[in-house]
């Protein structure tokens, strides 16, 4: 497949949004979307002429403004509340389209050409196929071309940007494990990548594990706002006593401003600006911020540990989950050579200190050639870094076909094989889906097919022979699909026979000519591959 002439990265963020353009042989160019900055605020508001976004929304009263509309996808909301008037809601899809449409219009105004094969979108690693498809649909409806292969996990994009920067700028030869810690406004994503790259060589990147939490900058903003309300309460000023929703929104807005100041300064003056209520100034310190942030940092540390332990299970000779849990954390930390901090929240000094303490033998970076909050969009616009990337779980669907039935789902793209917390509890980890015999033909055959989210079939190459999928014989038994983190896939058909294969790498789909999924048959069936499902695992039964 020919490399694209140019790539356009679209980073629809919780707080701000960015566009970047990549042309082979040239540095990544961050497109100046904002009026005064390179980013555009991801704000939406109700103006005189209807729903507006960007700076036009930012200039409106807080009573008619909604922030963080991207969270509507993360939390599966259909509406988003106004900042200072939570009883009034905007249609979430309309609000998101408004931001995406404005991004596309501004990019075109600055000479960027948007086509199906050039636009690449980012999304949180924790998003499911339904959430990803919702973003793709809204992007297309906003007038920005986006095909089903354009989505890239945000921490992977940041890792690509860092790898390209280290190789192109410094001539580094990289080999080892890179932990990407991406904390933005809405989510925390952690990914562990195995990288091998150097000058004049196509980088090889394999995702060993990734996971995320639905808490980041917005949660810290709320914690700081709570501190400020308490500080005013200590002065005898009860914020809730005013009965003014706008005042609470003003305090929250001030908390966000203070948080940004404290990334560079040890203290900040708090000076809320309300149209009718005058409040005295306060001083809020970095020490107070770190106290407010501590609970989130503990959750982040647990997530990092879970990702490290999960990565052990992707190896064919992996330890059991009990063995992975028994390994001391120091042994896992030692395997990480590089740590990359990205996202606006990574600029809070305690984040770098905490990660530096955890990975004392690793090199910690917050520079991918651009600002930390621009690393994702720079990686999305990279023209060469995605040629040889492999994922840790399938980025496509598994469906069961038979005559008269097209595509009964058995696995939805990007579904985690198990919740991250289960790795700390279960003795065996896998994804499992069972279709009961009563829902299937009692005789004949079908085919387990692999399909992109856009509906295109993906070829399966088993032991060097291409096939449209795995044949399935029907009978009087259930049909079950089980997938393990190390690439083992076991299909149990309706006659009680097991068909185990091994898939060494889950490729990232690139372009309209989708990858071929390469597998090999496994002659031996392990004791943990039974006809009947075990009670544990990420199980989905129809």
* CATH number of domain containing 230: 3.90.640.10
User: Are residues 452 and 311 both part of a single domain?
Assistant: no
| Residue 482 reports pLDDT greater than 80 | yes
Domain that holds residue 267: 217-288
The whole-number pLDDT of residue 246 equals 85
348's torsion region: left (phi>0), alpha (psi -120 to 50) or beta? Answer: beta
The verdict on residue 59 lying in a domain is: yes
The whole-number pLDDT of residue 240 equals 83
The verdict on residue 330 lying in a domain is: yes
The verdict on residue 1 lying in a domain is: no
User: Are residues 335 and 411 both part of a single domain?
Assistant: no
User: Are residues 313 and 461 both part of a single domain?
Assistant: no
What is the percent of the chain where pLDDT is above 70? 90
The whole-number pLDDT of residue 1 equals 42
The verdict on residue 187 lying in a domain is: yes
Residues 385 and 174 sit within 8 Å (Cβ to Cβ): no
The verdict on residue 484 lying in a domain is: yes
Q: How many helices (H) and strands (E) does the chain have?
A: 12, 33
Residues 206 and 192 sit within 8 Å (Cβ to Cβ): no
Question: Which residue is it, tokens 């520079």?
Answer: 367
The verdict on residue 524 lying in a domain is: yes
User: Are residues 274 and 326 both part of a single domain?
Assistant: no
Instruction: Show which of 341, 362, 388 is a domain's final residue.
Output: 388
H or E element in which residue 498 lies: strand 498-502
> What is the DSSP secondary structure assignment for residue 62, as one 8-state letter?
G
Average pLDDT in the 183-190 region? 92
User: Are residues 422 and 466 both part of a single domain?
Assistant: yes
| Residues 101-132 pLDDT 10s | 999 999 999 999 999 889 999 999 989 989 99
Average pLDDT in the 353-362 region? 95
Separation in Å, CA 141 to CA 91, 117, 121, 431: 15, 17, 15, 33
The whole-number pLDDT of residue 58 equals 93
| Residues 325-341 pLDDT 10s | 667 778 888 999 999 99
Question: Which residue is it, tokens 């079950």?
Answer: 480
Residues 199 and 167 sit within 8 Å (Cβ to Cβ): yes
Spell out the residues 6+ positions from residue 266 whose beta carbon is closer than 8 angstroms to its own. 285, 286
Q: Which residue has the higher pLDDT, 128 or 527?
A: 128
Separation in Å, CA 54 to CA 65, 154, 186, 365: 11, 22, 18, 30
Angle in degrees, CA 353, 359, 362, rounded to 5 = 110
Please state the domain count of the chain.
4
| Residues 232-280 pLDDT 10s | 999 999 888 777 778 888 999 999 999 999 999 999 999 998 888 889 9
The verdict on residue 2 lying in a domain is: no
User: Are residues 177 and 273 both part of a single domain?
Assistant: no
Instruction: Show which of 129, 153, 177 is a domain's final residue.
Output: 153
The verdict on residue 309 lying in a domain is: yes
Sign of CA dihedral 338, 388, 210, 133: positive
The whole-number pLDDT of residue 432 equals 95
**Residue 284: phi, psi to the nearest 5?**
-115, 130
H or E element in which residue 527 lies: none
User: Are residues 190 and 323 both part of a single domain?
Assistant: yes
Angle in degrees, CA 161, 167, 171, rounded to 5 = 155
Separation in Å, CA 117 to CA 50, 143, 192, 396: 32, 15, 28, 19
Mean pLDDT of the chain, nearest integer: 89
β-pair partners for 158: none
**Residue 306: phi, psi to the nearest 5?**
-65, -40
User: Are residues 367 and 267 both part of a single domain?
Assistant: no
User: Are residues 325 and 423 both part of a single domain?
Assistant: no
User: Are residues 201 and 223 both part of a single domain?
Assistant: no
| Residues 396-442 pLDDT 10s | 999 999 998 888 999 999 998 887 666 666 667 889 999 999 999 99
Determine the Cα–Cα distance for residues 533 and 376; give it in Å rounded to an integer: 40
Average pLDDT in the 451-472 region? 90
Instruction: Show which of 116, 135, 153 is a domain's final residue.
Output: 153
Angle in degrees, CA 314, 320, 324, rounded to 5 = 80
Q: Residue 180 maps to which CATH number?
A: 3.30.420.40
Sequence-separated contacts (24+) of 353-357 with Cβ below 8 Å: 354/297, 354/300, 354/301, 355/181, 355/304
User: Are residues 48 and 143 both part of a single domain?
Assistant: yes
User: Are residues 426 and 492 both part of a single domain?
Assistant: yes
Provide the Cα torsion 283, 284, 285, 286; round to 10°. -150
The whole-number pLDDT of residue 75 equals 95
């Amino acid at each position: 497949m020919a490399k694209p002439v140019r790539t356009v990265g679209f980073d629809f963020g919780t707080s701000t949004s960015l566009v970047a353009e990549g042309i082979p042989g040239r540095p990544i160019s961050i497109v100046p979307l904002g009026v005064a900055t390179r980013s555009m605020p991801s704000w939406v508001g109700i103006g005189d002429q209807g729903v507006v976004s960007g700076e036009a929304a930012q200039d409106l009263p807080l009573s008619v403004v909604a922030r963080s509309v991207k969270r509507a996808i993360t939390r599966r909301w259909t509406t988003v509340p106004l900042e200072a008037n939570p009883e009034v809601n905007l249609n979430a899809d309309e609000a998101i389209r408004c931001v995406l449409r404005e991004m596309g219009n501004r990019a075109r105004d600055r000479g960027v050409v948007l086509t199906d094969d050039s636009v690449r979108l980012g999304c949180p690693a924790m998003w499911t196929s339904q959430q990803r498809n919702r973003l793709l649909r809204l992007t297309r409806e906003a007038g920005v071309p986006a095909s089903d292969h354009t989505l890239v996990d945000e921490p992977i994009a940041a890792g690509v940007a860092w790898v390209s920067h280290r190789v192109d700028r410094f001539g580094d030869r990289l080999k080892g494990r890179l932990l990407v810690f991406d904390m933005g406004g809405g989510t925390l994503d952690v990914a562990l990548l195995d990288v091998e790259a150097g000058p004049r060589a196509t980088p090889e990147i394999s995702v060993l594990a990734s996971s995320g939490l639905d808490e980041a900058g917005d949660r810290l903003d709320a914690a700081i706002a709570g501190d400020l309300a308490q500080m005013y309460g200590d002065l005898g000023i009860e914020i809730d006593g005013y009965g003014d929703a706008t005042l609470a929104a003003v305090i929250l807005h001030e908390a966000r401003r203070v948080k940004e100041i404290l990334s560079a300064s040890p203290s900040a003056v708090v000076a809320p600006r309300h149209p009718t209520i005058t409040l005295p100034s306060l001083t809020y310190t970095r020490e107070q911020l770190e106290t407010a942030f501590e609970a989130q940092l503990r959750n982040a540390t647990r997530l990092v540990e879970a990702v490290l332990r999960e990565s052990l299970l992707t190896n064919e000779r992996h330890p059991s989950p009990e063995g992975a849990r028994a390994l001391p954390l120091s042994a896992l930390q030692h395997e990480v050579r590089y740590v990359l901090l990205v996202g606006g929240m990574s600029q809070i000094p305690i984040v770098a200190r905490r990660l530096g303490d955890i990975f004392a033998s690793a090199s910690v970076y917050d520079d991918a050639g651009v600002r930390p909050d621009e690393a994702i969009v720079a990686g999305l616009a990279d023209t060469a870094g995605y040629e040889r990337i492999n994922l840790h779980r399938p980025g496509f669907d598994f469906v069961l076909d038979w005559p008269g039935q097209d595509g009964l789902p058995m696995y939805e793209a990007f579904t985690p094989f198990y919740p991250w917390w289960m790795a700390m509890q279960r003795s065996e980890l896998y994804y499992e889906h069972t279709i009961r015999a009563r829902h299937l033909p009692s005789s004949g055959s079908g085919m387990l097919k692999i399909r992109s989210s856009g509906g295109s079939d993906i070829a399966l190459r088993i032991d060097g022979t291409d096939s449209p999928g795995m044949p399935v014989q029907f009978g009087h038994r259930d049909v079950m699909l089980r997938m393990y983190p190390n690439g083992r896939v076991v299909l149990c058909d309706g006659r009680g026979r097991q068909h185990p294969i091994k898939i060494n790498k889950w490729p990232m789909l690139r372009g309209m000519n989708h990858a071929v999924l390469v597998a090999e048959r496994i002659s031996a069936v392990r004791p943990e591959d039974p006809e009947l499902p075990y009670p544990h695992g990420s199980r989905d039964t129809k």
